[in-house]
Structures are given as structure tokens and as C-alpha cells.
């Protein structure tokens, strides 16, 4: 039996034609360029895995095209928008919104769950999100009160500017974390912290220190540049 090996160019052409047909139905993937303009993408990007089950969804990627890795986004419904960075795994239902600022980063294993209509997760500027952090914008299952009414609708998670979220943290729906805060590793954050410059830690998370600030550099680098900080 004859065996055909396609050239790289032909493989790419085949893949673009046959694998990414879901870019139809008004779904769009856009790259945010360094100058803020947006470029419509119609070809396969290594490191990006996007699935559109519905229509009119928009995915924007806040990374240079040649540096994209470990982005996986599933649009379960219609009219959702996700602005993502590397290491983001995200599921969105209809009308959902996920946004992370370009100046923030997520380490491996970041998971963002928005699988109920209208859920939102917003992450501000200069945030450091460590390994295996999970944002539960929704509960995934329904809770009923004693009158049989649903009592656990999705609520927006908002992480304001310059928040450091330690490894393995889990954040539940409706949580707002104010500026310059740190969340200690392994914490479970179930309510909002509107006071700035605090360390929040534990299960359930509570304020454990006040009047702090943090810098993204390692201590040795920071002291080399700011000797008076020693
Ligand atoms: C949050 C953190 C930065 C705080 O460091 P720190 O300022 O030296 O804090 P301390 O060790 O003085 O702890 C202060 C208090 O909070 C408690 N605490 C600190 N981290 C905690 C945590 N993750 N969970 C529960 N309690 C915690 C301490 O037990 C201590 O309690 P006490 O006052 O009753 O004694 C550190 O604990 C941490 O989580 N580091 C890991 C960060 C990370 O994940 N980095 C990955 C790279 S992004």
C-alpha cells in the first residue's frame, strides 16, 4: 500500500482547513498586538487550544504569537468574551466574561470556571498568580433554599491591581480582593477583602498581617536594586 507523507506546509494547510472550522458562526480569535491593535487569527497557533460550541464568542490573547503556550479555552454557549494569557484554562457559558490584564501573569495550572450564563472573572494590573490557582466563578451545581429557590447564582470575582495569589489558592464566587494584597499559599478565599496592603491566609482565609506591600522580584534582586530595604 502506498504511503504519503505530507510536507510541513501541506500539513498546516490540511489542519487549518479541517481542524479549525469552528472559527465559523461569528466566533473570533484575536491577538492583542504590543501597540494595542487587534489581529484576527484564522490559522492554528501552537500552544492554543480553543473550542467553540456556540456562536459569536470572542477570544483575545494577550501574549506575543510566538510565545503562546498552555492556553485552553472552551466556549460552551454564545456571546462570551475571554481575554487570556499563557497557562489559562477557562470554560465559559453564554454571556460570560473573563479578563486578565496584560501586565499580570498566571503560572502553570491556572483554572477559571465560568460555566453558568453571565458569570465574570476580572483580574487587574500587575497581579502574580502562582501555580495551580483555581477561580470558581460558579459552583457547578444548584443549591436550593428551604423554599425550593436557587440560592447560589454566579457572582463576579474581581482581583484588583497588584495582588499576589500564592500557590494552590482557591477563590470562590463573589470574592473581591483589594489592591496590594497577598493571599498565602493553599488558602481558600470565600469572602471579599476590601482593605488594601494585607496578607490574607488560611481556610477560610482571614487577614493575618496588615500594612505590607510586595514586589514581584526575588529578595536578592530587590535588595541589590534597593539596598536601603535590607
Ligand atoms: C503569605 C506568605 C507570603 C506570608 O509570609 P510572611 O509574611 O513571612 O508571613 P508569616 O510567616 O509571618 O505568617 C503570618 C501569619 O500568617 C500565617 N500564615 C502564613 N501563611 C499562611 C498560609 N498560607 N496559610 C495559613 N496561614 C498562614 C502564619 O502562620 C502566621 O500566623 P500567626 O500570626 O498566628 O503566627 C507565605 O506564607 C506564603 O504563602 N508563601 C508562599 C507564596 C507562594 O505561593 N509563592 C509562589 C510564587 S508566586
pLDDT at 6: 63
Grid-cell match 502574580, residue found: 128
Q: Give the distance (Å) from ligand 1 centre to CA of residue 186.
A: 10
Give the separation between CA 159 and CA 76, rounded to whole angstroms: 24
Give, in order, the Cα–Cα distances in Å from 215 to each of 163, 185, 218, 221, 226: 10, 17, 8, 10, 11
Query: Nearest to residue 122, comparing CAs of 166, 157, 96?
Result: 157
Answer whether 37's CB lies under 8 Å from 14's CB: no
Query: What angle is formed at CA 121 by the lines to CA 119 and CA 123, rounded to 5 degrees?
Result: 165
Residue nearest to atom 43 of ligand 1 (CA): 166
- Let me know how long the chain is: 230
Q: Would you say the CB of residue 187 lies under 6 angstroms from ligand 1?
A: yes
How many other C-beta atoms lie within 10 A of the C-beta of residue 42? 9
Structural domains in the chain plus CATH codes: 8-229 (2.160.10.10)
Question: What pLDDT does 33 receive?
Answer: 95
CA atoms within 13 A on the CB side of 7: 2
pLDDT of 18: 40
Pinpoint the alpha helices (H) of 19-104: none
d(CA 82, CA 84): 6
> DSSP 3-state assignment of 218?
coil
Atom of ligand 1 nearest to the CA of 214: 3
Runs of H (alpha helix) within 45-170: none
Averages of pLDDT over each 10 residues, the chain, 230 residues: 60 49 81 94 90 96 95 97 98 98 97 97 98 97 97 97 98 98 98 98 98 98 97
**Protein residue closest via CA to atom 30 of ligand 1:** 208
Pairing state of beta strands 188-189 and 170-172?
parallel
pLDDT of residue 21: 42
169 Cα: distance to centroid of ligand 1 (angstroms): 12
Distance CA 173, CA 182 (A): 18
Cβ of 184 closer than 6 Å to ligand 1, yes or no, is yes
The ligand 1 atom nearest the CA atom of 202: 25
pLDDT on residue 42: 86
Q: How far is the CA of 130 from the centre of ligand 1 (A)?
A: 14
Looking at residue 22, what is its pLDDT?
Answer: 57
Cis peptide bond prior to 76, omega within 30° of 0? no
Please list the residues that pair with 203 across neighbouring strands.
none
Q: In which region does residue 36 sit, left (phi positive, over 0), alpha (psi from -120 to 50) or beta (all else)?
A: left
Amino acid at each position: 500500500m502506498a504511503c504519503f507523507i505530507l510536507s510541513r506546509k501541506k500539513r498546516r494547510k490540511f489542519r487549518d482547513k479541517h481542524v479549525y472550522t469552528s472559527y465559523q458562526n461569528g466566533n473570533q480569535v484575536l491577538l492583542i498586538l504590543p501597540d494595542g491593535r487587534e489581529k484576527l487569527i484564522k490559522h492554528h497557533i501552537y500552544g492554543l487550544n480553543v473550542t467553540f460550541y456556540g456562536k459569536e464568542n470572542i477570544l483575545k490573547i494577550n501574549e506575543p504569537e510566538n510565545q503562546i503556550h498552555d492556553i485552553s479555552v472552551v466556549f460552551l454557549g454564545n456571546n462570551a468574551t475571554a481575554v487570556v494569557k499563557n497557562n489559562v484554562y477557562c470554560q465559559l457559558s453564554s454571556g460570560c466574561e473573563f479578563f486578565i490584564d496584560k501586565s499580570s501573569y498566571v503560572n502553570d495550572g491556572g483554572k477559571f470556571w465560568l460555566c453558568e450564563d453571565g458569570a465574570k472573572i476580572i483580574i487587574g494590573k500587575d497581579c502574580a498568580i502562582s501555580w495551580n490557582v483555581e477561580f470558581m466563578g460558579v459552583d457547578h451545581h444548584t443549591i436550593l433554599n428551604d423554599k425550593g429557590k436557587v440560592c447560589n447564582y454566579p457572582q463576579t470575582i474581581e482581583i484588583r491591581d497588584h495582588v499576589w495569589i500564592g500557590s494552590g489558592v482557591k477563590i470562590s464566587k463573589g470574592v473581591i480582593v483589594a489592591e496590594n494584597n497577598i493571599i498565602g499559599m493553599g488558602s481558600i478565599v470565600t469572602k471579599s477583602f476590601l482593605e488594601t496592603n494585607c496578607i490574607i491566609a488560611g481556610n477560610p482565609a482571614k487577614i493575618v498581617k496588615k500594612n505590607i506591600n510586595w514586589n514581584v522580584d526575588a529578595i536578592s534582586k530587590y535588595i541589590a536594586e534597593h539596598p536601603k530595604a535590607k
